[in-house]
Amino acid sequence: MQLTRRIEHVITMQLIRRLAWVTAGFTYLLVSLGVTVRASNAGPSCPDWPLCYGRLFSGHAYGALLEEAHNYLAGIVGILVIVLALCVLIRARQQRHLLIPALLAPALLIVQIIFGGLTVLWKSYSPVIIGHLSLAEAFFALTLTTAIMTTIPAASREPREDTFRFARLTMITSLLIYGLLLSGSYVFNSGASLACPGWPLCGAAPQWAVSLHLSDINLLHRYVAIFVGLILVATLIVAWRRRIFAPRQAWLVLAAALFFVAQAGLGAFVALPNQPVFVAILHLALATAVWGCLISAAALAARQLRAAPVSEPALALETTSGGRMLHNEIAVEKEISPWRRTLASYINLTKPHVTVLLLGTTVAAMAIAYKGLPPLGLVLATLVGGFMAAGSANCINCYIDRDIDQLMGRTQRRALPAGKVEPQQALIFGLVLAVGSFIVLSTFVNLLSAVLSFAAILFYIFVYTLGLKRRSVQNIVIGGAAGAVPVLVGWAAVTNSLSLPAIWLFAIIFYWTPPHFWALSLLIQKDYEKANVPMMPVVMGEGETRKQIFLYSLLLLGVTLVLFAMHTMGYFYLIGAVVLGGILLYMSIRLLRDQSKKWARTIFWYSNCYLAAIFAMMVIDRVIH
């Protein structure tokens, strides 16, 4: 009887898997056809909705046929999604990793269809078109995730922590691609495509085509594309290094990188005044392929994590002993030159994964203050100075905490505990970076930004690291102010002053910090106990920590809405802030009710994405208005 049930289950899962992949394929066709409708301006060919001229088949011109084909394909996808959701609900409801995306997809499809109708009824209103595309891409990601979750993951010897880090990196890269997709849609729908006839630089914009505002929008999209491309290259390097453990994930990221290069090349032709329609269509279709490949790689990594759960003690053992042995074996197989090893060790001291997020908020604050893209030279100088300042603070922090870093599994592989850099050399490197950041910012930006950066370094070292970290349960709350200063630096770099909106940007990061780091502290509570660091779970218990995460998430939502109340941000930002904050609040409620570590890990991951997304929405809102 058991054998019969297993066979039935295997057959059922095979059918669900095939249905899921068919649904994902049709969804990609639907998104591509929707792009074709928009690029060819076929939407207005059918003045009513969901029918066309009140008929199922209008028999009108080419544009109407395209719009009708898009509507009927949406109907087919809708049927497939509903059938898939019912199959999963009936036959695989116990598999929550599969059930959740399968049930979310029909709900999102309904909202997307409503937006599709509004694009017709409201005569291709630009914000509605962008919203329609954003929902379509999110829907495509859900169908892909559902299909991936039906697969059987291959066994892997990779340390669980490394798999988790790759999943997080790939998801962050995916979200950046998602933002790039939406910014490209805004460039096309606002008429900014022709604002810069040159490529990759803007060139002399023709007076008949555009305004300076539109050329700023176009240039901003190009610079964002360069930044996202560099992040994608870093993701590819990480994926390729771990291809021995996860070859499918490595090949997916490689495919994403190749698609990205191809669509970036097509971007040069989109800037031409008389480019063929298919160029814009292929440009966005390839961007969607990049998005799909990265989502698939992230979902595969998540599936790999789901397939081999381990306990917290086992995780610590694996990431310290077993993980180090595996890395040593790889190092033996692949020799690394001494200068590269030394360079990597010094870069490790600057905590680049933290620094990148800080620099992102700095650039966002500059764009918000400038209401567009600031001069490139100013941006580069601020980024160089900001990187040196953040790197200095992190480096000196590593020097001071090298004793407790040796005790914690999460930090044992850092350069100082691992013996890759001498402590005195690390301290000198940190001091040189601090002085260099002040010189760069004061010389090429302004004195106010230099003073703010230097003050942040001093605060992080003396107030947080030396004063609070080992003495107070409020270490993260007060110490988080140092991580919020980069937005003030970005604002000051553009305006050479500080105003109330800049203070509220500071407040958003300040109140974001506790939920983010307390979620992490729930995951590595035993590490903090070993190192005698008075993080909240160690001193006040997990229950109080979960409660505080909820309260700070609620407070953060309120703080983000103040920018709209001050008329600094518009309705686009308001919707984004409510949705993003609502998701964080929902997760914090689930964390209160569920005593496992699952929701703590989810909040820690999502909070990174939250900060990047809400600042991206601020930039878009300011550019739009």
Q: In the structure, what pLDDT confidence band is assigned to residue 39 with cuts at 50, 70 and 90?
A: low
pLDDT tens column, 424-476: 888 999 999 999 999 999 999 999 999 999 999 999 999 989 888 888 888 88
Q: Tell me: do 194 and 92 sit in the same domain.
A: no
Return left, alpha or beta for 212; rule: phi > 0 is left, psi -120 to 50 is alpha, else beta: alpha
* 593: exposed, middle or buried (Cβ count in 10 Å: 0-12, 13-18, 19+): exposed
User: Both 221 and 255 in a single domain?
Assistant: yes
pLDDT digits 0-9 by tens, 288-335: 899 899 999 988 888 887 665 443 333 333 333 334 333 443 443 344
Same domain, yes or no: 197 and 299: yes
Looking at the 3D structure of the chain, how many domains does it have? Answer: 4
Domain boundary among the residues 107, 137, 152 is at: 152
Query: Is 514 in contact with 548 (CB distance < 8 Å)?
Result: yes
What is the reported pLDDT for 506?
94
Q: Give the Cα-Cα-Cα angle 371, 372, 376 (nearest 5 degrees).
A: 130
Q: What is the pTM of this model?
A: 0.61
Domain assignment present for residue 437? The answer is yes
Does 166 lie in the same domain as 263? yes
**Does one domain contain both 348 and 481?**
yes
How far is the C-alpha of 32 from the C-alpha of 137, rounded, in Å?
A: 10
State the chain's mean pLDDT as an integer. 79
In a domain, 284, yes or no: yes
Enclosing domain of residue 74: 1-152
CB 297 within 8 A of CB 249: yes
Among candidate residues 472, 498, 524, the one where a domain is terminated:
498
Same domain? For 561 and 470 the reply is: no
Q: Are residues 345 and 487 in the same domain?
A: yes
The CB-side HSE value for 601 (13 A sphere, CA atoms) comes to 15
Question: Same domain for 299 and 168?
Answer: yes
Residue 509 lies in a domain: yes
Dihedrals φ, ψ of 55, to 5°? -125, 160
* CATH assignment at residue 451: 1.10.357.140
Residues 118 and 17 in one domain: yes
Same domain, 172 and 261: yes
User: Within this chain, do residues 82 and 148 fall inside the same structural domain, yes or no?
Assistant: yes
Q: What is the pLDDT of residue 122?
A: 59
Residue 14: the pLDDT is 82
Residue 229 lies in a domain: yes
Q: In terms of domains, do 491 and 362 share one? A: yes
Q: Is residue 195 part of a domain?
A: yes
In a domain, residue 319? The reply is no
429 half-sphere exposure, CB direction, 13 A CA radius: 24
Among 313, 346, 376, give the residue marking a domain's end: 313
Residue 324 lies in a domain: no
Of the listed ranges 184-193, 296-305, 543-552, the one predicted with least confidence = 184-193
Is residue 532 included in any domain, yes or no?
A: yes
